[in-house]
Amino acid sequence: MTISELITLLRQDITQNYRMRGAKGARTEKKTLNRPILWTIGGIVVGVIIIAAVLWIGPIIGWDVISQIVSENLGLGSTIFNAILLFAFLGSIMFAATTVGNSERMEYLLVMPVEMRTIFMEKYLLLIIYSSIFWLVIGTPIIIGFSILAAHPIGYLSILAFVILVLSEVTIGTSIGGLLGLAFAKVLAGRRRLKQIGWAIMTSLGIVVGSLWYASIYLGEGAGWFNQIIDIAMALGFASDLTPGYYVSVMTLGLLVGAPLSIQHFFATLLIPLSAGGLLYLNSYVSELAHYSGWMRSESKRTPKEKVLEEHPPWNPNPFPRLQMSITTSVSMWYNLTSVKRESKVFTQYLLGPLRYLIWLILPVFAWGDELLFILPYMLTAALVSLAVSYGVSFAGYETVYEGRNLMNLQLAAANMSDYVKGKVLSAVPFTIAAASIVGVFYLIFLPATWFQIPAMVIGCIFVNLVAGAIAANAGASNGDFKAERMFTRQRGAAVRPPIKGLAIIKAQLIPNAYGYMGLFGLVLGSTFIATVYGLLVGILALYLLLPVFALISLRLYRSYSFKAGVKLAQLEASEYL
């Protein structure tokens, strides 16, 4: 490994190959110069403003006061400096496990006549630069401002100390995170099922914790969370004297105010950049090792040398039991289920995604307690409708649009496209039944008096789901971006387009929701009213007489929208999406 190789690589990556004007072409990745120039100018402006602010506010408080406060507690900034380390650590775990790993870009880089560890080290250096730029842009001007105020020569050394130490801290965080990510990669190497389960757990945790987080802010406990985080940080020893952040703080602030620094402090601080360098090298070494051991291997796209005969029973998908459907519909249904199930991330997103807004429907009841208990049935009904609509939109709407590359096949297969759409819509039904049943159980627990309405709700929900799916598929077929790809692994930094855009997705969400609310609320309110006026039996009778009417209307809508969607799909120019 030579420094010149490292610098060449860094220069290639940082200066890149910018164009003065936006390069045309669907596949070009050439970027314009505007963005880097704007960011640089923005950074300089922010820096100048911060320096000016420090120089303006500093004399008002008085340098003597500031200097005295800082001298008395040189570990003042340890929490912030430790937080910088923690952020770098958290951000780099995924980076190491995915990007530094054998991505296709890496494979291209590795044909260069440079040692692999040089290339990996360069990637980590780049990550370090990007992770520390924020802290440097904000922090350096503050230190510059104060060292101008301090007006003694040693004070200016604090600027250098700050820059070096922050870079070292970010390096330590990034390297430890990277090693952890590599450890994950080692554990998960070649274990598809474990990886999928991991993704499912992480995704559902993300959704649930995220919803609860926003809910807690909504419920007015926002500040509480923040204090708790500070408490946790303190408990973890973030302000302790034995952390890197403490020594960074002591060194930077000590130089700033010209406090006497012990030789012990000096050596402890020297240890930070040294260990940063060591960890960085270790990281690139382990990355190289990982590459040679195949921890990061992506699935091969080359055809094997020997012909591999895959033996499996002929695929003969069955329709739902006791349900007449064409072969196209049943094939479409099972194909849809299989392709959604393939990526546990996608599957979890589709199934648990609605929790994000369902929580808003249920929350008011828990937030205000008994006074609002009377609206609980309506909230639960609304939740049911939202679930059904959301499943319809994802399983039928999105999945129809993700069919882009497959569109030509479908058209050439002379499959009945309406039947194909119907299959997609039907694939959401089992999940709707399951989710609706779970909500139904809640219903029974909170409002046992409504027991007679629950089966009707669940059944009504299925029909709402059918209508929602067909309408979403129609919206997708007419206004979907068939170039969109369902690549959850590439969602960071890469263009993953929303499948259905603009008004179409609003329509696909609003119309079925409105229909579902009207239908199910009509059934609930109507039957409750009749039951209170004419007695329970008449109420039940009326409900289960009205339900088939609702079902029939829904089926008509489902058929007509599936037909429309099918016709639109058949008319698309499929060659554009190959």
Taking CA atoms, 537 is separated from 249, 450, 456, 529, 545, in Å, by 76, 13, 15, 12, 12
Are 203 and 122 spatial neighbours (Cβ–Cβ below 8 Å)? no
Number of residues in contact with other proteins, rule: CB under 8 A? Answer: 12
Q: Does 12 bind other proteins (CB under 8 A)?
A: yes
Are 211 and 205 spatial neighbours (Cβ–Cβ below 8 Å)? no
Q: Is 496 left (phi over 0), alpha (psi -120 to 50) or beta?
A: beta
> From residue 257 to residue 276, what is the string marking binding to other proteins with x (rule CB under 8 A)?
--------------------
From the CB of 111, what's the least distance to other proteins, in Å?
Answer: 5
Please give the distance of CA 472 from its chain centroid, rounded to a whole number. Answer: 23
Q: Does 13 bind other proteins (CB under 8 A)?
A: no
Q: What are phi and psi of 102, to 5 degrees?
A: -75, 65
Nearest-Å Rg of the Cα atoms of the chain is 30
Q: Does 183 bind other proteins (CB under 8 A)?
A: no
Q: Bridge-partner residues for 29, per DSSP?
A: none
Give the interface segment with other proteins, choosing from 48-56, 108-116, 328-336, 516-524 (CB under 8 A): 108-116
Candidates 88, 97, 100, 116: give the one binding other proteins (CB under 8 A): 116
Query: Which residue in this structure is represented by tokens 């072969």?
Result: 327
From the CB of 189, what's the least distance to other proteins, in Å?
Answer: 21
Give the interface segment with other proteins, choosing from 4-12, 83-91, 307-315, 559-567 (CB under 8 A): 4-12
Q: How far apart are the first and last CA of the chain?
A: 43
Give the interface segment with other proteins, choosing from 2-10, 97-105, 325-333, 548-556 (CB under 8 A): 2-10
Residue 466: partners with Cβ closer than 8 Å, 6 or more residues away: 392, 425, 426, 429, 554, 555, 558
From the CB of 114, what's the least distance to other proteins, in Å?
Answer: 6
Sign of CA dihedral 197, 200, 204, 206: positive
Q: Does 481 bind other proteins (CB under 8 A)?
A: no
Candidates 48, 65, 112, 219: give the one binding other proteins (CB under 8 A): 112
Candidates 10, 114, 325, 555: give the one binding other proteins (CB under 8 A): 114
Q: Does 126 bind other proteins (CB under 8 A)?
A: no
Comparing CB distances to other proteins, the nearer of 120 and 558 is 120
Q: What is the Cα–Cα distance from 176 to 170, expressed in whole angstroms?
A: 10
CA angle, residues 222, 223, 228, in degrees to nearest 5 = 105
From the CB of 9, what's the least distance to other proteins, in Å?
Answer: 9
Candidates 2, 16, 262, 298: give the one binding other proteins (CB under 8 A): 2
Give the interface segment with other proteins, choosing from 110-118, 354-362, 471-479, 531-539 (CB under 8 A): 110-118
Q: Does 115 bind other proteins (CB under 8 A)?
A: yes
Q: Does 3 bind other proteins (CB under 8 A)?
A: no
Chain positions contacting other proteins, by CB under 8 A: 2, 4-5, 8, 12, 110-116
